[in-house]
Amino acid sequence: MADRLARVLTVDGLVRGVAAVTTDLCDDARARHGTFPTATAALGRALTSALLLAATGKRDERLSLEFSGDGPLRGLLVEATPEGTARGFAFRPKTDVPPRDGKLDVGGALGTGQLCVMRVPLEGGSMYRSIVPLVSGEIGMDVASYLAQSVQIPSAVGVGVLVGRDGAVTAAGGYLLQGMPGADPAMLDRLAARVEQAPPPSELVHSGHGPADILAMLLDDLPARVLEERAVSFRCRCSTARVRAAIIAMGRDEIGALVAEGEPAEAVCEFCSTAYTVGADELRALLDSMAAGGEGASA
């Protein structure tokens, strides 16, 4: 099943839901970063969570989640946009810890720490930033805790990544249900119980459920309409132009030293592992253009 995200709203406007299938996206992240199974599950859950949260935000902002812990994984940094793109990395991608209760122990790999949520306007405006303690390190529960503490919206969050014996992601996805102002607490309790009894999102995706199917199953007797369904993918914002800008920011002295040594400038994007190389000839051209434009004063 192709990766997709769906947003729904109950007919009475009191519950909204977002769900996503992210199998290819999560496996793309695994392949780019060479993650081991526990790190693969952690990164996939974080990427899926970011997509779900970004789908509930404004159209002109980018969402960032940074999970920091004292476990062997150390942390995760992911970003997502309302358009359905996401990128991210694990601080220690080769992390793999023994399973717990037959499942990949993401909480044990991440440990005790905090979650920092940032919403960054794409054009001007003030950045929103909130920090909350991790309650489990299992990602989904931590995101739900953030929503309850900082946004004060009752929410149910489920994210899951199924990793095969070869280390590849065989199924991944997640969902987010939120009660809106005026929602009946008893109805929200029934939804919470239904979510508690539902199979993990990765199992639902593995059995062929799409995002709209997952939401329909969770909402059950609550009539709802699909507001949107779109493709999602791993996509990074890095580019050759950004690398050149970073090199110019080094200043003429450092660039001149590289040229004198005949060495290229090399950079690897942390978010997607794309490698960039700027050769000596191009470095000389950058130096010439900086001299002509009076840019990059010596540090």
Whether the predicted pLDDT of 102 surpasses 60 = yes
Q: Which has the closest alpha carbon to 52: 274, 211, 223?
A: 211
pLDDT, tens digit, 9 for 90 and up, residues 18-46: 999 999 999 999 999 999 999 999 999 99
Instruction: Output the pLDDT for position 296.
Output: 44
Alpha-carbon distance of 71 to 107, in angstroms, equals 8
| Residue 17 · residue 176 · CB < 8 Å | yes
Residue, of 260 and 215, whose pLDDT is higher: 215
Whether the predicted pLDDT of 295 surpasses 80 = no
Average pLDDT, the chain: 92
> Binning pLDDT at 50, 70 and 90, where does residue 79 land?
very high
Instruction: Output the pLDDT for position 178.
Output: 94
Interhelix angle for 37-54 vs 23-33, to 10°? Answer: 130
**Stretch 57-72: mean pLDDT:** 94
Alpha-carbon distance of 149 to 145, in angstroms, equals 6
Q: For the chain, which domains are there?
A: 4-234 (3.55.30.10), 240-293 (3.90.1280.10)
Instruction: Output the pLDDT for position 298.
Output: 38
Alpha-helical runs (H) found in the chain: 23-33, 37-54, 106-110, 140-146, 185-197, 201-206, 211-219, 240-250, 252-261, 280-293
pLDDT, tens digit, 9 for 90 and up, residues 142-179: 999 999 998 888 899 999 999 999 999 999 999 999 99
CA angle, 133 as apex, 74 and 66 as ends, to 5°? Answer: 45
Instruction: Output the pLDDT for position 138.
Output: 96
Alpha-carbon distance of 106 to 112, in angstroms, equals 11
pLDDT, tens digit, 9 for 90 and up, residues 201-231: 999 999 999 999 999 999 988 999 999 999 9
Strand 233-234 to 85-90 pairing: parallel
| Residue 264 · residue 228 · CB < 8 Å | no
Structure letter (DSSP) for residue 279: -
Q: How far is CA 194 from CA 29, 129, 138, 198, 220, in A?
A: 31, 32, 20, 6, 9
Whether the predicted pLDDT of 97 surpasses 60 = yes
Beta bridge pairs of residue 114: 68, 133
Alpha-carbon distance of 196 to 22, in angstroms, equals 21
pLDDT, tens digit, 9 for 90 and up, residues 108-133: 999 999 999 999 988 777 888 999 99
Q: Which has the closest alpha carbon to 55: 12, 90, 4?
A: 4
Whether the predicted pLDDT of 297 surpasses 60 = no
Whether the predicted pLDDT of 294 surpasses 70 = no
Beta bridge pairs of residue 156: 177
Please tell me the pTM assigned to this model. Answer: 0.92
Query: How many helices and strands (H and E) does the chain possess?
Result: 10, 13
Residue, of 146 and 260, whose pLDDT is higher: 146
Name, in order, each residue with C-beta under 8 angstroms of 117's C-beta and a sequence gap of 6 or more.
53, 63, 64, 65, 128, 129, 130, 131, 132, 146, 150
Query: What is the full DSSP assignment across 40-69?
Result: HHHHHHHHHHHHHHHTTS-TTEEEEEEEEE
CA angle, 29 as apex, 177 and 245 as ends, to 5°? Answer: 110
